[in-house]
Structure 1
Amino acid sequence: MFNNIPPITRNLIIINIVVYLAALLIPQLDYYLAGYYPFSSNFKSWQIITHMFMHGSPMHILFNMFTLYSFGPILEQSLGDKKYIILYFLSGLGAFFLFNLWNFVEVQNITNHLVESGYDLQNLAETIQNLKSTPLTAQQQSWIQELIGIYYTRMLGASGAIFGVIAAFATLYPEARIGIMFIPIPVKVKYVLPVVVIGSIYLGISGNGGGIAHLAHVGGAIVGFILAKIWKKHLYRFK
């Protein structure tokens, strides 16, 4: 069965599984390969790619790989190897960009609040290292904790790239029907994608994401949608 999956999708699944298992055996990989905010001291340039192959739990990788298995083969066959690879990786990059663009906006808002409250930003690095011993108001402590969360929380997973795959599928095959949990009948994918994207935007901006990088999903979906729109007119020339 696994050999029947087209080669690019199959290899992407294999790489994701191998990297996940390697990170379990070598925990330090999590520090080097997961994605960090670009202005964090933990950020390394290669993380914009490697974060796509990192996953936080068995359910995380299982869900992502099952979704890739469900949508990827059709796109790989219709788009061809080159465009399919471009779709996957540009969607992952779009996810990283949008997620961290919002992080940048959040950092600017928080630092403005700190300055307005009378805090000297020149002491920020020292304060982060010695938060408990630094005299701060409760509100200042809360803001600095938010900054710490942005600078040192990992971004990991193939979800952004896979949302690009789903968005491209929905753009090229809008009438296709897919099954969804708790809904007894298949639903056209052209109706599902906008609901998921709008929900992800709300959860990402409201801060109610539950530790999930919802805006990364949106970034991947935007890239997938744009690429599919560009390529749609020439769909039958791809092969």
Structure 2
Amino acid sequence: MSNIVDDIKREFAKSENSLVKIILINTAVFLVLLLSKIILTLSQSSHIYGWIMDMLQLPASTTDFAYRPWTLITYFFTHDDIFHILFNMLFLYWFGKLVDEYLGAKRVIALYLLGGIFGGIIYMVIYNLLPYFQPHLEQSKMLGASAAAFAVAVGASTLLPNYTFNLIFLGPIRIKFIALFYIILSLAQTVGPNAGGNLAHLGGALVGYVFIKMLQNGTDLGKPLYAVMNGWSRLFRKRPSMQVTYREKQVYRSTSVYSSASSSATIEMPNQTEIDTILDKISKSGYESLTKEEKQKLFKASQQK
């Protein structure tokens, strides 16, 4: 057990594995809720578990939301079904790895958070505006990372539409078709029993597409989030120890110099020869053969007008 805890601590100590951290947080929340559900049910206090879930799920009712505004964040870190979290985390990992490789860890976080937030807003707005959903307004609540995962998936598909995944029984499939299939599926189910969740999926998908398109045009929608994350990181950063040296009755105070962890070094705009070399490598060995620097250079080149 101590080895598992140590492994988790090491993962959180790393600066460039945001995708793993998101998955670990979701998994930890799920396990804590699962354990709470078992204990409270056996002790005949299941109503307490219901209250806990109410504090984490996003309500469709704006009146309820006014008393629990934090649920706009907590809902997409909360799952109560093992297959729900398993599918969401696998979906997030497969597509998130591509975003991480090409754009860096911080943009995985930006897509995840913006997709989850905007998906939740779309869910509430449509439930409160369309008469079709009015009879279910007070009872409807939403949880799960699907909208956030959809943002990452569509973001990756917008960035690398022709990248292929090898699917069991189907063989190599371009990820743009995988994303399109799930978008159509969600659209078809917006009038089904899980209408709210599917509306959120579409909101997350829209965020993923817009985020990448604007990034390619030089506008990064994640900048406000990066500022918040940097401030949060500084808040919990361990202060360097102060060393005092005495020499000939003079006191010298020195502190160790801290270089803030940043994402990969800024990649310069590649010239045409470099681009041709990268494209030749892709045609011979596929996207997977590129180094992280080559992937970032390819993205940089795509931003040229």
TM-score range, shorter chain: 0.7 to 0.9
Amino acid at match of 2:57: A
Q: Please list every run of 5 or more consecutive structure 1 residues that lacks an aligned counterpart in the other structure.
A: 111-142
Paired position in structure 1 for 2:113: 89
TM-score for both structures, normalised by structure 2: 0.58
State how far apart, in whole Å, the 2-side matches of 1:8 and 1:38 are. 32
User: 1:156: how far off?
Assistant: 0.3
Query: How far, CA to CA, are the matches of 1:98 and 1:191 in structure 2?
Result: 24
- Within 5 Å, give how 1:1-239 maps onto structure 2: 7-26=17-36, 27=49, 28-41=51-64, 44-106=68-130, 109=131, 147=135, 149-180=136-167, 184-204=170-190, 207-210=191-194, 213-233=197-217, 235-236=299-300
CA deviation profile, 1:137-162 (whole Å, cap 9, x unmatched) = xxxxxx9xx63x32222200000000
CA contact (8 A) 2:34 2:80 kept: no
1:29 Cα deviation (Å)?
2.5
Counterpart Cα distance in 2 of 1:195 and 1:212: 19
Cα contact 1:52–1:157 (8 A) shared by 2 = yes
SS of 2:171's partner is strand
Identity of matched residues, %? 28
8 Å CA contact retained: 2:33, 2:80: no
Q: Counterpart of 1:36 in structure 2: which amino acid? A: P
- Offset at residue 37 of structure 1 (A): 1.5
Higher helix share: 1
Could you tell me which residue of structure 2 aligns to residue 120 of structure 1? none
With over 3 angstroms needed to count, the CA separation of the structure-2 counterparts of 1:215 and 1:30, relative to structure 1, is same
Matched AA of 1:186: P
AA aligned opposite 1:49:
I
SS in 1 for 2:69: coil
- TM-score if structure 1 supplies the norm length? 0.73
Distance in structure 1 (CA, Å) of the matches to 2:69 and 2:164: 39
Q: Write the letter of the residue equivalent to 1:93.
A: I
Relative to structure 1, is the Cα distance of residues 59 and 211 closer, same or farther in structure 2, using a 3 angstrom cutoff?
farther
Q: Which residue type is aligned with residue 163 of structure 1?
A: F
* Other structure's SS at 2:59 match: coil
Residues 8 and 157 (structure 1), Cα distance of their counterparts in 2 relative to 1, 3 Å cut: same
Q: Closer, same or farther in 2 for the Cα pair 1:201/1:211, shift >3 Å?
A: closer
Write the letter of the residue equivalent to 1:188.
Answer: R
Contact 1:40 1:151 in 2 (8 A): no
Q: Distance in 2 between matches of 1:10 and 1:222?
A: 24
Structure with greater Cα Rg: 2
Output the CA distance in 1 between the equivalents of 2:104 and 2:80: 31
Residue segments in structure 2 that go unaligned for 5+ positions in a row = 1-6, 37-48, 219-298
Give me the CA root mean square deviation. Answer: 2.7
Query: Do 1:201 and 1:215's aligned partners in 2 also have CA atoms closer than 8 Å?
Result: yes
SS of residue matched to 1:213: helix
CA distance in 1, matches of 2:193, 2:140: 14
Aligned length: 197
Instruction: Tell me the CA shift for residue 83 of structure 1.
Output: 2.5
**Residues 180 and 210 of structure 1, relative CA distance in 2, 3 Å threshold:** farther
- Post-superposition offset of 1:50: 0.3
Is the alpha carbon distance of 1:97 and 1:210 closer, same or farther for their aligned partners in structure 2, counting shifts above 3 Å? closer
